[in-house]
Structure 1
Amino acid sequence: MASLSWPDETAGPIDGGELRLVQPGSNVCLDFHGDPLRARLVVVSDGNHHMALREVLAAFLAENPAVEDVFYTTTPPRVALQLLRAGHLDIGNLRLSVKPHVMISPPPVLDQAVAAGHMAAYRPFMRGRGAALLVKKGNPKSVLGAADLLRDDVRLFMSNPITEKVSYETYLGALRRLATVEGVTLGFLVHALGQPDPGKLIYGKSIHHREAPQALADDQADVAVVFYHLALRYRRIFPELFDFVQPAAWVQDGGTEIGRADCGLVGDGGAWGAALLDFLATETVTQIYRTHGLEPARQR
C-alpha cells in the first residue's frame, strides 16, 4: 500500500503554492516543522502529542506575530537529546543546526537534559489517558484485549525497545497489566531484546507514531499498542482505515501518568521561550490538549 498521506503540521500559515519535495517512502520529513532560519522560537518535543502541539504553537504564533515562525520537532526523545549534545542533527544529507529554546518530553528524558546542564528545571505539562489497541477499520480480527493477542492470526506492532525505550517500556507495562487482569500470559513478549518472533511481534525502527499506522496499512501487523490520544488521532485523520479499542483496564490507566510530557527552557530560552512556557500553562492550551485526548499532568 502507498505511504499514508499525513496532513500538514506546520505552525505557521502556508499559501499552498510552495514546492514540496516529498517522495513518500524515500524523501519525506514529517517530524520537523517550520522554517529554521526565519523562526525566532525553536521547540524540541517528543512526538506522541504532535497533533495538539501543532494547534498550540499555531495559536501562540497568532498571538505573537513578532516570533515570525516556530520551528519545532516531534521526534523520539533520543533525537532531541542528540541535538542538544551535538548542536546539530543530520537528516539524510541535510545537516540541521538550530539552538532549541524550549524542550517538551517525558520527565526521565528532561532529567538527562538537566543533568547535562542544558536545562535548569522543568514544570508539569500534559499526560495521556492510557493506551489503546489500534486496529484496521471495522476490527476485522476482532481484537478486544490481551487474550486475542495470543491467537496465531494476530500480529502485534510495538515501538522499538532500543530507539524508543520510554514508549516501549510504557506499552510493555500496559500489556502486562492487561494480561494480568485477563488471567493470561503473553509469552511472546519474553524474548531476547530486539529479536521478536516475526510471526507475532514486529518493532518499529525509530518513530512509532508514524510507523504504527503505516504497519497496519501495509498489512505487516493486525494491531498496534499506542497511546489513546495517538489512536484517536489516526481514526480522525484516516477514518476509512483505522479504529481502536481501549480495554477497561486501560481506561483506568488514564488516571495515571501514562504518556506524560513536561516542559522547560533550554538555556535561557531566548527571546520567546519564557513567553511560550507561560502560554503552555493557560486554559486555552489545556482545552486544545483535551480535545486531542490528553489531560494536565499533576505536580510530581
Structure 2
Amino acid sequence: MRKTIIASLVFLIVSITTKAQDFKSNEHQFDPPWQQTSLNGKNFTIYGIDNMPDFHGDVNDPDLVIFFAGNQYMVVPELLDAFKKKYPKYTKVFAETIPPGIEVEQIQNGKLLVGNMRITLSPDVITAGKASITEKNNQGWFVNTKAYAKNKLAIMVYKGNPKKISTLKDLGKENITVAMPNPNWEGIGKRIVLAYKNVGKDSLSNLIMDKKVNVKTTLLTTIHHRETPLFIMNKRVDAGPVWYSEAYYHSNLTNHPIDMVEIPDKYNVDATYMAGELKNAPHKKAAKKFMKFLGSKEAHEAL
C-alpha cells in the first residue's frame, strides 16, 4: 500500500525526459532552473542576478494561470507541454511553483513583487495539500476540486552521506546542520514536525525547531524545494527533510551531488495533493479543461 501511495507522486518525476542543467564552472554551478524549457525567445538568464526558475511560461496575456505547489517544479514544463498538445487552443500558459502559503497571500493581496517586477495575474487553478484545499473549499473558493497525487517524506543529504545520517533522530545531533522548511510558510514544515514527534515525541521536535534554530544549526527556509538542495550542494548544511519526490529527483534523475535517506513507514507522514478550480477564475473554460486534463492518461504520462 505504501509503495502505491508513493508511486502516485513518484510518477510525477519518473517519466521526466528533460535533463538537469550541466554543472557550471563558477560560484553558481548548482543554480536552478534544473530542467530545460521548450519555450523559445532571447535567453537572458544571468545566474545569481536575473533568474526566476519558479515562474513558468507566458506572463503576458495568458490563456490559463496555474499556481502549483512549489515542490512540483520538476514536472511543470512537461505537464504544460502535454496540456498544450492535448488542447492546442491554449498556447500561452503561466504557472508558479512557489510555496502555497505565499501564493495564498498573493491571491489575497492581488499582487506579487519579485525584485523589480510585479505580477498581478489571478489564478484559474491552484494546487496544494489536501488540508489547505479542503479548508478553502469550505470557505467557498472553488467550483471543483480534485486529488491527483500523493507523497511522503525523505531526508536529502550530500552525495555519499558523509555524516552517516540514517534517521530523523540523527538530525538532532549537535554536529549535524539541518535545512528545515519554515512551518509559517510551507505546509511541509508542519508535516516534518509531525514526523519528528513520531520519532522522538516533543523532545526531538523542540530540539530541532527551537534549540538548534537559536544556535543556527537548523536553518529555516522560505522556499525549501530550491534552498534545501542548494544548501546541501554548497555544503551550508548536512541534511534536510523534504518530499520523497524531491529527494528522488535530485539523487536519481540529475547529476547533482545528492543522496536520499528513506524514512521508515511507521514514522513517515503522507500527503495528498489536490487541485482547485477557482470560482472567480479569469479563464473559466481553460480552467475546466486543465482540471479534466489532470486526470487524463496524457497528464499521467507527462507527470
Please, what TM-score do these two structures have when normalized by structure 1?
0.81
8 A contact 2:172–2:208 mirrored in 1? no
Q: How many Å apart are 1:117 and its aligned residue?
A: 4.2
**Distance in 2 separating the partners of 1:10 and 1:149:** 34
232, 235, 243: which one pairs with 1:227?
243
Amino acid at match of 1:14: L
Which stretches of structure 1, 4 residues or more, deviate above 4 A after TM superposition? 8-11, 184-187
In structure 2, what is the equivalent of residue 203 of structure 1?
Answer: 220
- Structure 1, unpaired ranges of 5+: 290-300
Q: Does 1:276 align with 2:302?
A: no
1:64 to 80, 87, 96: 87
Tell me by how many angstroms 1:187 deviates.
Answer: 5.1
1:65-117 CA-to-partner distances (Å, cap 9, x unmatched) read 22112100111112221232222221121111112111111133224543554
Aligned partner (choices 272, 278, 298) of residue 260 of structure 1: 272
* Structure 2 CA distance for aligned equivalents of residues 125 and 114 of structure 1: 16
User: Gaps (5+ residues) in structure 2?
Assistant: 1-26
1:74 alignment partner in structure 2 = 97
Kept in 1, the 8 Å contact 2:31–2:47? The answer is no
Deviations 1:207-227 (A, max 9, x none): 110000111122221011001
From the superposition, tell whether residues 89 and 146 of structure 1 become closer, same or farther in structure 2 (CA, over 3 Å): closer
SS of structure 2 residue aligned to 1:202: strand
Counting only pairs closer than 5 Å after superposition, residues 230-249 of structure 1 correspond to structure 2 as: 230-249=246-265
Indicate the SS of the match to 2:214.
Answer: coil
CA contact (8 A) 1:46 1:74 kept: yes
Give the TM-score taking structure 2 as reference length.
0.80
Task: Tell me the percent identity.
Answer: 22
Change in 2 beyond 3 A, CA 1:3/1:167: farther
Give the aligned partner of residue 199 of structure 2.
178
Residue 110 of structure 1 aligns to a residue in which SS? helix
- CA shift at 1:160, angstroms? 1.1
Cα 1:97–1:147 change in 2 (3 A) is closer
- For residues 104-183 of structure 1, the aligned pairs below 5 Å read 104-114=127-137, 117-128=140-151, 130-164=152-186, 166-179=187-200
Contact 1:38 1:68 in 2 (8 A): no
Identify which of 5, 10, 14 aligns with 2:39.
14
- The amino acid that maps onto 2:291 is L
Q: Which of residues 48, 68, 72 is equivalent to 2:71?
A: 48
Contact kept in structure 2, 1:84 and 1:118, CA below 8 Å:
no
Q: Report the residue type matching 1:259 in the other structure.
A: A
The 3 A distance-change label for structure 1 pair 82 and 149 is closer
1:23 and 2:47 matched: yes
**Kept after mapping to 2: 8 A contact 1:188/1:197:** no
- 1:188 equivalenced with 2:193 (yes/no): no
Deviations 1:15-57 (A, max 9, x none): 4x52314331x43211111112142011111111222333222
The answer to whether the 8 A contact 2:82-2:302 is kept is no
Q: In 2 relative to 1, CA 270–188 (structure 1 residues): closer, same or farther, beyond 3 Å? A: same
Is 1:5–2:24 an aligned residue pair? no
CA distance in 2, matches of 1:63, 1:8: 25
* Paired residue secondary structure (1:127): strand
Q: What is the number of equivalent residue pairs in this alignment?
A: 274
Classify the secondary structure of the residue corresponding to 1:196. helix
Structure 2 CA distance for aligned equivalents of residues 168 and 36 of structure 1: 30
Distance 1:162 1:150 in 2: 21
- What SS does the corresponding residue of 1:141 show, helix, strand or coil? coil
Backbone CA RMSD of aligned residues: 2.6
